[in-house]
Structure 1
């Protein structure tokens, strides 16, 4: 595992990765994360469904990529490990697949040993870095991934925590610029398109707690894929992306989960 210095875990402020863990029924979160999670549920009770939908989308996209020849994965904003994680899905299809996980929360680092247990030696690694520091991500990823061969860049349920002021689109462009032709971008993103009032209230609640929530429209989300070739069916609500690949989430009460997902290839 890539060596990183230890950072104190801030238990006084909610963290998206730990809230996501709470939504999925995990144990690796703190009272502050649960408290904010419960506040979000009062605004939109579908938030846990959204977490499961994102997770299932990641599984299907990884399965599709592995079946179509991708052997390298860079998962930024991986979050707290849940099984099966990306490397399990990829290596079930292609045992020679190589995976680098990246997250900025120290609690994820604390669980990295469990995450990597049983993975082929040298094929899976973890680095602690923030998406706002793409150079650090690229430097760490190069230690296990061959940037002369295609890489799938996974940014699932991440970029809505990065504001336009932090240059979200430029950050994605910087990461993609280092990846060769044949690489893919895998993304999901929350939106206010379907639930504007609830989304506005959620944004204000999280902002008051020190958490950025930048909900983007379909047009703004699609901009992340400028210059790339979208894989069919293009930009869709995440659970509609290749449902035949498994793990459909049936709990949607009205068939609309407020988010988008897509996979695209770099020409």
Structure 2
């Protein structure tokens, strides 16, 4: 593979902004400037993205412990600390298979380059694709070596809150749930602003508008309530502790502080027979 990441410095990249908040190095001045302006509106964002990444790591470890060896990461973003394939390979060396999917060219190119350096690059793949591609995307995922008859861990982490209601993200989610065989897991996290703080609500609304105007994200996104977020799981069975604030989902160590400051909820659900 010889692809090089497209810099696309005409506007900030959502993937590079997230990478910056995580302390990564795959970002540029235009991304850092945008990221710092959003932090001025909501300083808790930096902690929230780190909590989200920590949830991802815990969820992948949980999936491996449940016997799942296949992972599909929709909206994977830029490769950064604690990638899905790295966590899965630590827990089940030589057995996991991961397909990363993102519609942002720079994220896809970075992922391909990252996977070139793995010990067994044929087990882990990166696709340029869009969440809304549905059947076409799933066909390509299967072609990359995901066995539709064996349990799959489908990850939609910090993805759906980028999609406003008018785009109807519940429709493709229902399709992907239907494709999962019994024993599969759906891992999901989503921004959730359950607060009476009008200033916080206004600031997060401004952040959504900023993303819509200045980045690669189309639409101002959707900060949904917990009941709306739960609908994305459909009829799948949420595992304990259910749909909770990010720090509350099976933490490695006790969390001290206001869990609502993570500004996102997360859960893992199992598809039974």
Give TM-score, length-normalised by structure 2: 0.88
Selected match of 1:64 from 62, 65, 68: 62
Contact 1:192–1:200 (CA<8 Å) still a contact in 2? no
Selected match of 1:234 from 239, 242, 253: 242
Q: Secondary structure at the match of 2:172?
A: helix
Deviation at 1:259, TM superposition (A): 0.6
Contact 1:53–1:239 (CA<8 Å) still a contact in 2? yes
Contact 1:129–1:136 (CA<8 Å) still a contact in 2? no
Q: How does 1:171-190 map to 2 (within 5 A)?
A: 171-190=172-191
Deviation at 1:178, TM superposition (A): 1.4
Unaligned runs of 5+ in 2: none
Q: How does 1:108-187 map to 2 (within 5 A)?
A: 108-111=107-110, 112-143=112-143, 144-187=145-188
Render the CA deviation track for 1:25-66: whole Å, top value 9, x for unaligned: 222223332222111101110111111111110000000110
Deviation at 1:93, TM superposition (A): 1.2
Give TM-score, length-normalised by structure 1: 0.90
Counterpart CA distance in 1 for 2:192 and 2:61 is: 25
Selected match of 2:74 from 51, 73, 76: 76
Instruction: Tell me whether 1:101 sits opposite 2:100 in the alignment.
Output: yes
Deviation at 1:91, TM superposition (A): 1.5
Counterpart CA distance in 1 for 2:231 and 2:151 is: 22
- Pick which of 20-29 and 209-218 moved more: 209-218
Change (3 A) 1:235 1:138: same
Q: Secondary structure at the match of 1:165?
A: helix
Q: Which residue is equivalent to 1:259?
A: 264
- Pick which of 106-115 and 18-27 moved more: 106-115
Contact 2:6–2:106 (CA<8 Å) still a contact in 1? no
Q: How does 1:203-242 map to 2 (within 5 A)?
A: 203-209=208-214, 211=217, 212-242=220-250
Change (3 A) 1:28 1:117: same
Counterpart CA distance in 1 for 2:187 and 2:246 is: 11
Q: Secondary structure at the match of 2:122?
A: coil
Write 1 or 2 for the structure with the bigger share of helix.
2
Deviation at 1:15, TM superposition (A): 2.5
- Pick which of 82-91 and 117-126 moved more: 117-126
Counterpart CA distance in 2 for 1:186 and 1:68 is: 13
Contact 2:85–2:124 (CA<8 Å) still a contact in 1? yes
Deviation at 1:190, TM superposition (A): 0.7
RMSD: 2.2
Deviation at 1:120, TM superposition (A): 2.3
Contact 1:230–1:265 (CA<8 Å) still a contact in 2? yes
Unaligned runs of 5+ in 1: none
Contact 1:9–1:105 (CA<8 Å) still a contact in 2? no
Contact 1:102–1:137 (CA<8 Å) still a contact in 2? no
